[in-house]
Structure 1
Amino acid sequence: MNIVQPIRDPAMIEEIKEFFGAKSKRNRMMFVFGINTGYRIQDMLKVRKRDVMGEHIVMIEMKTGKKRWLQVNPVLRRELKEYTANLNDDDYLFPSRQGKNKPIKRDMAYKIMNEAAEEFKLKDIGTHTMRKTFGYHMYQKTKDITLVRKLLNHASEAITFRYIGMDQDMMDSAMNRFGGL
């Protein structure tokens, strides 16, 4: 399994949104949805229009079996409203071109993310990058690792800290301050 990183730079996130938007509304929405919900890719791909029309998205996580309620933030709400305008309630948010009303598969989601990684020369990027990006930026805005742990459904703060790349950021910062002997 490859270790992936969050996208730390907000300007890069905006560039990736524009990149996807110029090519495919579906791919842009997948990225925006992922970085605004922190959902695992297997949970994202099963989402239908009817699941995102309320104030909260409610789902049972495939990995944990836990029920998760997530409020739809204003940015995501605006994006979803525009994106879903012509969808039926039973339509998947991220439809495949293969078959009638089927979602894309995990490998296609990876290819989509990999396309952006190649375009922007990013390393350690995959489908989990969206989830990690959500966690990283939520922590940057709140400085509340317990909240981020709960949002990601992790067992401990230490796991969450490592998962969102904060331990690496802290080590890099310490090495820069250290400067050498």
Structure 2
Amino acid sequence: MAEVQAVKDLDTVRLISHLLERRYSKQMRFVWEVGINLALRVSDLLSIKFTDFTDGRLIIKEGKTGKRAEIKVNPKTQMLINDIQLQHPHHVYLFQSYRNQRAINGPARPLTRRSVSKAFELVSEELNIHINSHSMRKTRGYHLYKKTNDIARVMVMLRHSSESTTLRYIGITQEDVDRDFTELEL
């Protein structure tokens, strides 16, 4: 299996969003768009409850690391969250499962990683690129780095503990570094 990378082209980011809605559902489009903007692991993203938002911030404890994540929600993401809540005012989870019979008659549950992975795989095959649920987090990190060239900021956003891990994670290669040296003349 190929290693999943960040989606480096912004037009492709938007195309993935469009295809997720057309081929799968509006909810999957929202998973992609909110996921890119919050840069969380998919397990943390899917476990978000509406009660985790306070004063324009998302406050959660990350499942993998146990670290507290406090994320200021940008206007686009807030609009998406408001839209989801308006469409499903009785939902507990931001990305609540509501289509199958068990979800209708049972306690509230979030979407599964498997359902998200399945939708992303469908779009991945159509575009002939390799994306999965981790692509959202990597994409956010990559684009923040390209905008700021500040690896320390990306490390803080992703809550990583080393620069080398972050550079490898967002897909910055020696080839990229070489290109930066040749293209930037002072």
Instruction: Identify the TM-score tier after normalising by the shorter chain.
Output: 0.7 to 0.9
Structure 2 letter corresponding to 1:111:
K
Question: In structure 1, what is the equivalent of residue 169 of structure 2?
Answer: 163
Structure 2 letter corresponding to 1:75:
K
Question: In structure 1, what is the equivalent of residue 110 of structure 2?
Answer: 103
Out of 133, 136, 143, the position equivalent to 1:137 is 143
Structure 1 letter corresponding to 2:60:
M
Unaligned runs of 5+ in 1: none
Q: Answer whether contact 2:85 2:91 (CA < 8 A) is retained.
A: no
CA RMSD of superposed structures (Å): 2.2
Higher mean alpha-carbon deviation, 31-40 vs 93-102, is at 93-102
Q: 1:38 to 1:78 in 2, by over 3 A?
A: same
Q: Deviations over 1:80-116 (max 9, x none)?
A: 2222213236521222234242112112111111111
Distance 1:129 1:155 in 2: 20
Matching of residue 113 in structure 1 with residue 114 in structure 2: no
**TM-score (normalizing by structure 1):** 0.87
Structure 1 letter corresponding to 2:45:
M
Higher mean alpha-carbon deviation, 13-22 vs 147-156, is at 13-22
Deviation at 1:74, TM superposition (A): 1.6
Higher mean alpha-carbon deviation, 8-17 vs 80-89, is at 80-89
**TM-score (normalizing by structure 2):** 0.84
Deviation at 1:19, TM superposition (A): 1.4
Matching of residue 37 in structure 1 with residue 38 in structure 2: yes
Higher mean alpha-carbon deviation, 41-50 vs 26-35, is at 41-50
Distance 1:85 1:168 in 2: 46
* Identity in percent: 34
Q: 1:54 to 1:90 in 2, by over 3 A?
A: farther
Q: Answer whether contact 1:50 1:89 (CA < 8 A) is retained.
A: no
Distance 2:175 2:35 in 1: 22
Deviation at 1:170, TM superposition (A): 1.4
Question: In structure 2, what is the equivalent of residue 20 of structure 1?
Answer: 20
Deviation at 1:173, TM superposition (A): 3.8
Q: Deviations over 1:133-181 (max 9, x none)?
A: 010011111211101101111111111011100125516848x99xxxx
Please state whether the residue corresponding to 1:4 is helix, strand or coil.
coil
Q: 1:121 to 1:52 in 2, by over 3 A?
A: farther
Unaligned runs of 5+ in 2: none
Please state whether the residue corresponding to 1:18 is helix, strand or coil.
helix
Structure 2 letter corresponding to 1:82:
D
Q: Answer whether contact 1:55 1:71 (CA < 8 A) is retained.
A: yes
Please state whether the residue corresponding to 2:119 is helix, strand or coil.
helix
Q: 1:149 to 1:40 in 2, by over 3 A?
A: same
